[in-house]
A = this chain, B = another copy of it.
Amino acid sequence: MPEYVVRPVGRVESPLTDLAAAPKQSDEGAPPARIVFEPEYREAAADLRPGAEVLVLTWLHAGDRDVLSVHPRGDLGRAREGVFSTRSPDRPNPIGLHAVTVVEVAGDSITVDGLEAIDGTPVVDVKPVLGGLHER
């Protein structure tokens, strides 16, 4: 099958710099973080507003793409599972998915309430959380 090129649209600015110490999910004590958009993609982000619930997609560049199964959450007491049944950052395409709320908007960036990705992580997409059919 053909391959495709992912072009980062921005990057994470976060106090988290140590991968080993980072929380595993947004709701496990992750600190607020900024997403700084590249100038050429600001138009795409122009309608994000404080209070918006969004899904941030990142490229977990430290992930090991050759890993196909893991002990969930690194717990050796748990049986290995195929990575498509886990949220392991080690997976064939290490796309991170983060459900967050926008808390502040500036010219070239947004601040979100909690993000477990470390400083410098590339951001590849932002999508709204879908409401009910009548809100679309």
Contacts and interface: CB of A to CB of B under 8 A. Distances in A.
Interface of A: 1-9, 11, 24-25, 27-28, 38, 41, 43-48, 52, 54-55, 57, 59, 61, 65, 68-69, 72-73, 81-87, 91-93, 95, 97, 122, 124-128, 130, 133, 136
Residue in A4, A6, A55 with the greatest tally of chain B CB atoms within 10 Å: A4
A93 B44 contact: no
A9 to B, nearest CB: 5
Copies in the complex: 2
A83 B7 CA distance: 15
A92 B69 CA distance: 30
B8 A5 contact: no
A83 to B, nearest CB: 5
A92 B9 contact: yes
B84 A127 contact: yes
B95 A125 contact: yes
B44 A69 contact: yes
A18 B107 CA distance: 39
